[in-house]
A and B are shown apart, each in its own frame.
Chain A
C-alpha cells in the first residue's frame, strides 16, 4: 500500500474516514514486516550504531583506567555523568506520563503516540541507569548499593539518597518495561499472525504469550493495563523527586533546597515532551504517519511543554528568590556565581532555551508548525541538559571554603560518553521502529471504531 499524502488540513486527532481495521493493521505492521530497509534508515542506523560502539569502547576504557579520564576533580566530583543521568531520566518521564496519566485522564489522542513514547522512556531510563555505574570509582562493585544478604551482613546505608535512587530507578524501569510490554501484547499477536517467515512467527508468537484476542483476554487485559497505569502514575512523580533528593539532601548551596522535587518533576516532563516532539516529528515524516500522529498531537504536546516550561521557570525564579530571602551568605553567593561566574554563559543560555524560546508556543501558528516545533524541541533538550549541568557543576565548583574552589572542564572522554549515549539512544530507537509497531495497532483500531461512531452521530 502506498503511503497517503499528508493531509495538513486535518486538525483533529481523529482518523480520516479511509482508515479501516485492515488498512490500519496493514499500514503499521508493514512498517515492521514488509517494508524494505531504505537508505536513510540504513545510514542513520549505521551512524548511530557506530557511535554506540564508540560509547561501548569508551566504557571499556573507562573501566580499565578510571574516572580520572573525565574532567571531574575535587571540588567538582560530579560532572557529566551525573548531568547525563539526570537529563536522561528526565527524558524518560514523558512516556509514562503519556501512557499512564493521560490514559487515566481518558485522553484518547494519546493512543497514537504512547507506544514510541514508552519505548523512548525505556531507552532513556536504561541509558540513565548506565551513567551512575560509569560514574562510580569502582563500578564493578555497583551492586553494593543494592540490599542483598551478604556474608558480612553489610547493608546499604539507608540515609543516603543514592540508595533511594536505586529503588526509584529500578522500580521505574521495571514498571515502564511491564507497561510497555503489556501494551505490546495484542500487537505482537497481530504481527505473529501477519508474519510470513517461520522465525518471525515464532519470535513474535513467543512474546505474544498466546494472545488470541478473546473477549476474556481483552477484559482482563484492560483491567491489568489500567492497574499498571495507576502504579506508573505514582512513579512519574516519585522517580524524579527521588533523583532530586540526590541533590536536595546534600548541603551544598545550589543543591540544598526543598524546591527540588516538584521542580525536577516539572523539568522532567518538560524535557520528556521535548524529546517526544524531537522523535515524533521525524518519525511521522519518514514513515508517513501523518494520519496517526496528527498536528493535534503535536499541538497538545506543545501545550504541555508550554505549561511545564512555566513550572520550570517558576522553579528558577523561586531558587533565586529563596537564596536572597534566606539571607544565607553561601546561598546568595552561589546564585550570584551562577549568574556571573565561570558557568554563567551556560546559565543564561539555559534560560533562553527553557524560558524564552518556548514562549513562541503562545502562538497557535507556531504550535502547529512542524518545523518550529522541531527546532524548539531541540532548544529545550539542550536547555534542559544545560540546566542539569549547571545544577551539578556550578553549585559544586564554589562552595563554602574559597581555598577549595575549582573548575570543571570536560575532557574529550566526557564528550564521548555524552554523545555516545545519544548515539545509543538513537540506535535503539531505530531498531525499535523496525522490529516493533511504533504505533499501537489495537488502539488505532479502537479509534477507527470511535471515529466512525463520531462521524455517524
Chain B
C-alpha cells in the first residue's frame, strides 16, 4: 500500500481548462456512446470531424434517463445545450413521472454543477490517486481471497439497480464470507416487516388513487417526498376536478401537517399513539381485530366522531376505498391497515401488491445493527461504504463512528466528502447520476437505463466501477457492465433495437412488476401486540424527513435549502415544530430556543409554531446540523439524528422541555398566514359548488370593473394566458424550483431571505382558515398575472416593463434602472429585485448551468415571471420556419411542465382549439384582486372541497 506524502502530479492542477475542454467534447462523447466510463476515461475522446446531423449548436437535445429518490427511479428528460445538461423535465412515458417532476429532480441539476463537490481521492486527509487506491485495495483483496472474504463488508443504501445487485451477488459468490448490508435512514422497514408477517413474504403496496373514491391516510403523505409521489399526485388529481361532476373524498389523519392534510376534505391531527389507536378501533369495527386494550381505548375519546364518519364512508364505499399507512406507523399498524384494505376490498382496484422493487427488501435497522456489532467486535477488516452517510444518519445507539474506528480498511464513495468520508481511510468522489451508466427501477418495478450526459466533471468514480474492482477484471467501463447485463438477460434477437428504444424512451417496455395475488397468501393467524398506553401528559417527539433536504442528502443544494417548506414556508432551517396550544402550554414562542430531553439524550432547537400540528407532540426534521461535506449548510439547523435510536426510529417520548437563553431568527418567506377576510383563495364545498357552480364570481362585491382610461390593446397574433387550478394544486413547490432552474434565478442565502429578498418568480402562498380543530390549508401559486391593465407598466419611468403584442407583460432587463416603483405598484408582489449581485457569474461551473436562452440578471434590475418567453420564442422560430402558427401545447411553461397534477394550463386565447379555453370557461374561473381592475391574464379556478361539513369562509378569524 502506498501512502503518498507528497501530492501526485495531477492533483490540484487548475483543471478548469481541462474541464472546459471536456465540456466541448462532451457531445462527441455521447455520440460515441463512450461517455459512460467513470473516472478518467480509458477511451480516447475526439472532437467532431463531421458534426452529427442532429447536433445543432444552440439547439437543445433531450436525453432520457432516470434519477433516484430513496434509490427508486423517476424517469426524467434532461435538456442538453451544447453538451451541457441544464434542465430536468419529467419523462412523459415513465410511470413515476408522466411528465411531472418533484423538487428533487428539478434541483438535481444544481448538484451536478456544484463546484464544492468532492473532486479528489483522499487517503487519510491526504490527496491520493486512483492508482494508489487500486493498489491498496488489491493488497486488501489478496488477503481477503485467502479468507474467503471473511471480514469484507459492503454497506450500501437501498439498491434498486439490478446491475448493481448483480455485481454485489457476484462479489458475494466470490467472497462467500463477505456480507452486504443496507442502510437508508428513511427506509420503509415496517411495510416489508408487515407484509412478511401477513403474506409470508415481503411485498410492496401500489396504490391506485385514480380509482379510489375514498382515501384514508394514516400519517402517510403520499403527495410529497416519496419516489412515487409525482405519480400518486397525478392519479390523485384525476378524481379531484369538480367540473367533471364527481370528486373523491380524502380523510387525512396526520401528526405533522403535510400536503395530504392540506389537500384533504376531512382532516384530523392526532398524536402517533392516537393514530395507532384509531387504526385498531377501525380494525375492531371491521372485525379484523378482536379486542383493544381497554385502558388505551378509553384514553382518546375525541376521535370517535371522526371514527364514525370513517366507518360509515368506508362501509358505503367498499371496493372503492383505500387506506394508506405511513412509514412511521408500527408494524402492527401496517399489518392492520392492509388487513383492513383486504377486508374492504381495496385490493380489487385501488391497491396492488408487487414483489419488492428493491434488490433485497430487508429491515435496514437489523442489517446495520449486525454490521455494527461485527465492526465493534473486530470481525470487519474491510468496509466499503457506497454512498450514504451512516456516521451522520445512523441510529445514535449504534455509535457508527466509534465502530468504524475498529475497521482497519474503510472506504467511502460519495459525492461530497461528508462526515463518513472524514472517518474512513479512503474517500473516493462519486459520479453524479448524469455522469455514469447505470440502471434503476421505479416504484412499480419499471426499469430505466441511467445514461450519462457528460463525462465526469470531477474525476468521479461510479459505484459500478468501484464494485468491478472486487471482481476479476473483465469489463472496461460501466457502459459495458450495464449493456452486457441487459444483453445477457434479453432473450430476443434484436437487442440493439431494444437497447436503443429503451434508452430513447427512458424505460424498458414491459418491465413493470406484476401484481401478486395477496388474498390467497393472507395469513390471519398471527397475533397483534397489545397497544401500549401513552403515559398521559407526555409529549411525543416525531422525526420526519425534511421537505427539502430529506435525510440530509440534499443539504448542499441551495435551491432546495431556499425553497420554502410547503407548510411552514421556512427556508434554510429545521426547527422544533409544535402547534400553538402546545407552545402556549410550554410558554414558548417562535424562535425561542428549547432543550428537548428524551431517554436518549437532549438537543437544543428553536421553536416553530405550526398551526395544524397535533397537540402533545413535537416534530423534528432530519437532515440538518451537518458538520462536513456541505459548504452552504454547516452552520444551520441542528442534528435530530442524535436523538434517534434504532428502537424508536420515528417517534419517542419527551421527558422534558426546558427554555434555553436565546432567540433564533428564522428565514421564512410568508409571515402572515390568514386571508383576513380578503377574497383571495375562493372556495366552496362540493355541495355548494353543485348548487352554485359560479360561486367564485357570484357575489356582488366580486364584480369586475370594466372601465378604463386606456384603450384596449389589439391582439392580432397570439394572446397568451394561464390558469391555475387551485383544486389540483397540492402545494408541492415543483413549479417554483422548475422556474428557478429554467430562468436562471439565483438563490440568495439565508440572510437575504430573512430580509425578504427571495427571488422566486412563482411562489406558493399558503393560507389558513379556521381554528386548530377545523384548520384548513389553502395553497395559491402566484406567478406574474400579466395584467391587461398592468399597474407596473404605468409607473416605470424608463419603459423597462412593457406590454408586448401578445399580451405578455415583459421586463426589459437592459432598460431597467431599478426605481422599484413597479414592485410597489404590483398588487400581487410578484416582482423580484436584484438588491445585490445575486447571480453568481464568477464560478465556471455555475456559468455552465445557466440556461443560454435567458439573461443572467445584473444587480439593480427588477425581474419577474414572463410566461417563459424564451420557450414561446423557441416555438415561434420553429413555427415560422414551417410557416404555420404555434400549435396548442407547443409552448409549455417550466412551471406547467413540472406540475405533477397539471394544475397549470397555458396557451393562446386566440386559438379557438386551445385546451386553455376549457379551464378559462370553467365556472370556477376567477381573477385575483379583480376589483382593482388589473384584468389579469393569469386566473384561478376556485377550490372545491368535498367535505362532509360546511367549511369556514375565509376571514372567520384573524
**Are B817 and A402 neighbours in the complex by a CB distance under 8 Å?**
no
Contact residue among A329, A401, A406 (Cβ-Cβ distance under 8 Å from B827): A401
Which residues of chain B come closer than 8 Å to A42, judged between CB atoms? none
CB-CB contacts of B725-767 with A at 8 A, as 1s and 0s?
0000000000000000000000000001001110000010111
**Are B797 and A251 neighbours in the complex by a CB distance under 8 Å?**
no
**Are B676 and A137 neighbours in the complex by a CB distance under 8 Å?**
no
By beta carbon, the residue of chain B nearest A152 is B815
Given the complex of chains A and B, what is the CA–CA distance between A251 and B861 in angstroms? Answer: 22
**Are A75 and B829 neighbours in the complex by a CB distance under 8 Å?**
yes
Decide if A159 is an interface residue (CB 8 Å cutoff).
yes
Which residues of chain B come closer than 8 Å to A402, judged between CB atoms? 672-676, 678, 680, 767
- Most chain A CB atoms below 10 A, which of B670, B756, B799: B756
CB-CB contacts of A302-340 with B at 8 A, as 1s and 0s?
000000000000000000000000000100010000000
Q: How many residues of B contact A (CB 8 A)?
A: 55
Given the complex of chains A and B, what is the CA–CA distance between A240 and B755 in angstroms? Answer: 32
**Are A66 and B860 neighbours in the complex by a CB distance under 8 Å?**
yes
Given the complex of chains A and B, what is the CA–CA distance between A356 and B558 in angstroms? Answer: 52
User: For the complex, would chain A's binding face be called helix, strand, loop or mixed by DSSP majority?
Assistant: loop
**Are B832 and A74 neighbours in the complex by a CB distance under 8 Å?**
yes
**Are B929 and A251 neighbours in the complex by a CB distance under 8 Å?**
no
Which residues of chain B come closer than 8 Å to A66, judged between CB atoms? 834-837, 859-860
**Are B765 and A250 neighbours in the complex by a CB distance under 8 Å?**
no
Contact residue among B763, B799, B835, B861 (Cβ-Cβ distance under 8 Å from A154): B799
Residues facing A in B826-866 (CB within 8 A) are 827-829, 831-837, 858-862
Residues facing A in B795-845 (CB within 8 A) are 795-799, 815-821, 823-825, 827-829, 831-837
Given the complex of chains A and B, what is the CA–CA distance between A192 and B932 in angstroms? Answer: 63
Known: A73-B835, A154-B815, A402-B678. A68 touches B757 (CB 8 A): yes
* Stretch of A87-95, A160-168, A435-443 contacting B (4+ beta carbons < 8 Å): A160-168
- Most chain A CB atoms below 10 A, which of B752, B794, B797, B829: B797
B749 CB to closest chain A CB (Å) equals 11
B7 CB to closest chain A CB (Å) equals 38
A80 CB to closest chain B CB (Å) equals 13
A156 CB to closest chain B CB (Å) equals 6
Contact residue among A144, A160, A406, A407 (Cβ-Cβ distance under 8 Å from B795): A160
Which residues of chain A come closer than 8 Å to B860, judged between CB atoms? 66-67, 136-139
Decide if B647 is an interface residue (CB 8 Å cutoff).
no
- Most chain A CB atoms below 10 A, which of B673, B677, B816, B861: B816
Decide if A135 is an interface residue (CB 8 Å cutoff).
yes
B862 CB to closest chain A CB (Å) equals 7
Which residues of chain A come closer than 8 Å to B836, judged between CB atoms? 65-66, 68-69
Decide if A363 is an interface residue (CB 8 Å cutoff).
no
Which residues of chain B come closer than 8 Å to A145, judged between CB atoms? 797-798, 817
Which residues of chain A come closer than 8 Å to B706, judged between CB atoms? none
B622 CB to closest chain A CB (Å) equals 28
Which residues of chain A come closer than 8 Å to B827, judged between CB atoms? 251, 399-401
Which residues of chain B come closer than 8 Å to A142, judged between CB atoms? 817
Decide if B212 is an interface residue (CB 8 Å cutoff).
no
**Are A71 and B755 neighbours in the complex by a CB distance under 8 Å?**
yes
By beta carbon, the residue of chain B nearest A246 is B821
**Are B676 and A403 neighbours in the complex by a CB distance under 8 Å?**
no
Known: A136-B860, A137-B862, A138-B858. A333 touches B676 (CB 8 A): yes
**Are A144 and B798 neighbours in the complex by a CB distance under 8 Å?**
yes
By beta carbon, the residue of chain A nearest B821 is A162
**Are B825 and A251 neighbours in the complex by a CB distance under 8 Å?**
yes
Known: A74-B831, A402-B672. A160 touches B821 (CB 8 A): yes
Which residues of chain B come closer than 8 Å to A252, judged between CB atoms? 824-825
Residues facing B in A103-147 (CB within 8 A) are 132, 135-139, 141-142, 144-145
Residues facing B in A58-76 (CB within 8 A) are 65-69, 71-76
Contact residue among A162, A398, A400 (Cβ-Cβ distance under 8 Å from B819): A162
Decide if B88 is an interface residue (CB 8 Å cutoff).
no
Residues facing A in B647-694 (CB within 8 A) are 670-678, 680
Decide if A396 is an interface residue (CB 8 Å cutoff).
yes
**Are B835 and A399 neighbours in the complex by a CB distance under 8 Å?**
no
**Are A137 and B816 neighbours in the complex by a CB distance under 8 Å?**
yes
Which residues of chain A come closer than 8 Å to B818, judged between CB atoms? 67, 136-138
- Most chain A CB atoms below 10 A, which of B673, B755, B766, B793: B755
Which residues of chain A come closer than 8 Å to B861, judged between CB atoms? 137-138
**Are B829 and A329 neighbours in the complex by a CB distance under 8 Å?**
no
Known: A67-B835, A73-B835. A138 touches B817 (CB 8 A): yes
Would you mind naming 25 contact pairs between A and B with Cβ atoms under 8 Å apart?
A66-B835, A68-B757, A68-B859, A72-B835, A78-B821, A78-B824, A132-B819, A135-B820, A136-B818, A136-B819, A137-B820, A137-B859, A144-B815, A159-B794, A160-B797, A162-B797, A162-B821, A249-B795, A250-B824, A250-B825, A400-B827, A400-B929, A402-B680, A403-B765, A403-B782
Binding site for B on A (CB under 8 A): 65-69, 71-78, 132, 135-139, 141-142, 144-145, 154-157, 159-163, 166, 246, 249-252, 255, 329, 333, 396, 398-407
- List 9 tightest A-B contacts by C-beta distance, closest first: A137-B818, A137-B860, A68-B835, A73-B756, A68-B836, A77-B820, A403-B765, A404-B829, A162-B797
